[in-house]
Each structure stands twice: as structure tokens, then as C-alpha cells.
Copies of this chain bind each other. A is one copy, B any other.
Amino acid sequence: MKGRRILALAGGVGGGKLARGLAAVLPADELTLVVNTADDFVHLGLHICPDIDSVLYALADLNDPERGWGLAGETWSFMAAMERLKGETWFRLGDRDLATHVLRTQELKTGKSLSDVCAIIARRLGIAHRVMPMSDDPVRSIVETDEGPLDFQDWFVRRQCKPAFRGVTFQGAADARPSAAFREALDEADAVVLTPSNPFVSIDPILALPGVREALRRPGRPVVAVSPIVGGHAVKGPLANMLRELGHEPTALSVAQHYGPLVDGWIVDNVDIGLVPAIERLGHQVRVCNTMMHTLDDKRALAQDALELVLELSAVQVS
């Protein structure tokens, strides 16, 4: 497969890590990263795109690896002052991170699209690869909980995922159009990679956009997914609990069942080798490797594994 153009769908942290790996092994014109925007929100008057920023910061090597979100070397004076002013402090905004939100809000106000603004910020951070929002139209995750529906950030940050997860709806998705870059990548990509982000609140919103599921399933174009569950745990975030609250085992198998026939090939961690037969019985090809991305080498290796699985599946599908 010459010029293997990859479309990768990404949420925040797990998506950002694999995005960094893919960007390390693919030239800029062979990778389009399409990022979830359904947990975007306006907070303190600022337009905040947590997943886009996680991916951008990861690609620019500016992310904080210990905290797992936001910028390295972050300071918190703004939050301290906001607390003194008795403003809202439940969503933590670092001083450096604020510059991104202020710039984005200002640029959106001039009439630019979120895609335009995303491209500006990426370029200014020295990112060569294409990082784009799934849509320029507003889509918002509403989490159904045992305490009723909650806005995503209310549930995720303010309530720390405590109200049990019952499901999620994507407000605005039916009327939202995939962004131009996403549409172009859906047309032109040779393979699709689902990064190890939360399927319910990071990848499903992207799949909920009109026409996306159908467009992804193009014959001869493999869809490869990396399991966000490793050894019964989510690497980061509430996914294991969410699966349990829905009555599923927190395993890579449950995630594979969730995506169903959308995915051709699965990458699961070495520790989950025991799940391989069950995932294969769902009709998927499975590759087993290390999926824990601590170092850049880990990220690069996992990206390489995903691309090799793409190649294997392409050979199968072509033959």
C-alpha cells in the first residue's frame, strides 16, 4: 500500500498518545486526526475544546505526562485569583492553557470556523500533521445517569463521574456536518484507526455524525481499533466503571462487542491475550502487543503495530 493515508479518530488523552505515535511514523500528508468535540463547552465565557487541546498538546510535546491532561510546567495563579473572586473553579484552567482558550474564543468571535481556528493553533504550535474537529457545528454529549441527564463536563469533572452512567446522547449530532477535513479524509483515507479513547463519549460522538458510520465502512478499507481497556482497567478515565454500570465486563471484548462490525482488526494488550479467541469469534482479526504508552518509543511502536495490522487487513481484503 503506497501512500497509506490514515484517518485516525481520537478523543483526549489516549487519543493524544496514539496520535503522537502515528505522527512519529507517518509523514504529515498521510495522517488526518479527527477529534471529538462533543465534550467542548463554554466556561467562564471561553470556548474550551478539551479533546482537541489534548491532541494538539500531545503532538507538540507540550502535554503534562504526569497529570495526564493540560500543559507541562503549568501554573495555577488564575485559578487562585478566580477562587478569591468567588468565580467558578470546579473546572481547572491552567494559566498557560488559558492562552489557548482565550485565543480560540477570540478567533471564533471573528467568524472563523472551529476547523480554521484549530489549524491556526496547530500551525503556531509547530504541528505539521492535520488535526481537525469532527465538526464545526456544535454537538454536545448529554450523559444519562441515575440522577437524570447531565452535561458532559458536569458529570465528568464537577460530579467526577459519580452518578452512574446509563448512556449518552449527542445533542445536535443529527444536524451537524462532519468538518471539511473529516469529509475529505472519509473520501480519501486508505485505512481508519480508532485510537484507544473512550468509546461512549469520545469515539461514538464522531460516529454519530450523519453519514459517518456508512462512509467508514468502505469495502477494502480496513478499520483498526486499539483497545482502551487493558487487563480489566481503563488506562485513564472512567471507562471501566461505565462498562460495569451498563452491565458489561470491563474488558477489551466488551469494547469490541460495542463497536461490532464497524471494526475489522483489534489491537489488544499482551495481558489480554486470553480474550483473543472470543474477539476473533466476533469476526475480527486480532493483534497482541504492548499497548501501554509511557514513552515516545511506546507510542511509536503501537502506531507501527496498528499500521502493520492495517497492512495485513488490506492484503486480506485485496486478495
Contact = CB atoms under 8 A, between A and B. Distances in A.
A137 interface: no
Interface in A60-96: 71, 74-75, 77-82, 84-87, 94-96
A106 B45 contact: yes
A85 B44 contact: no
Nearest to A102: B44
B102 A46 contact: yes
B77 A96 contact: yes
A85 B124 contact: yes
A180 interface: no
Copies of this subunit: 2
A78 B106 contact: no
Interface string A104-123: 01100100000000000100
Nearest to A47: B45
Contact of A80 (B78, B82, B96, B103): B96
Contacts of A97: 81
B96 A98 contact: no
A273 interface: no
A124 B84 contact: yes
A99 interface: yes
Contacts of A95: 75, 77-78, 81, 95, 98
Given A45-B102, A102-B46, A106-B44, A121 B85 contact: yes
Contacts of A290: none
Instruction: Kindly state the interface size class of chain A when it binds its partner.
Output: 20 to 34
A96 B81 contact: yes
Contacts of A86: 124
Interface string A281-311: 0000000000000000000000000000000
Contacts of A124: 84-86
A169 to B, nearest CB: 27
A98 B81 contact: yes
Instruction: Give the residue among A44, A87, A124 with the most B Cβ atoms within 10 A.
Output: A87
A141 B252 CA distance: 64
Contact of A99 (B87, B94, B109, B125): B87
A254 interface: no
A103 B85 contact: yes
30 contacts: A44-B102, A44-B103, A44-B106, A45-B102, A45-B105, A45-B106, A45-B109, A74-B77, A75-B75, A75-B77, A77-B77, A77-B94, A77-B96, A78-B95, A78-B98, A78-B99, A81-B95, A81-B98, A81-B100, A82-B99, A82-B102, A82-B103, A84-B124, A85-B99, A85-B124, A85-B125, A87-B102, A87-B106, A95-B95, A98-B98
Given A82-B99, A87-B106, 17 more contacts: A44-B106, A45-B102, A75-B75, A77-B77, A77-B94, A77-B95, A78-B98, A78-B99, A79-B99, A80-B96, A82-B102, A82-B103, A84-B124, A85-B121, A85-B124, A87-B99, A87-B103
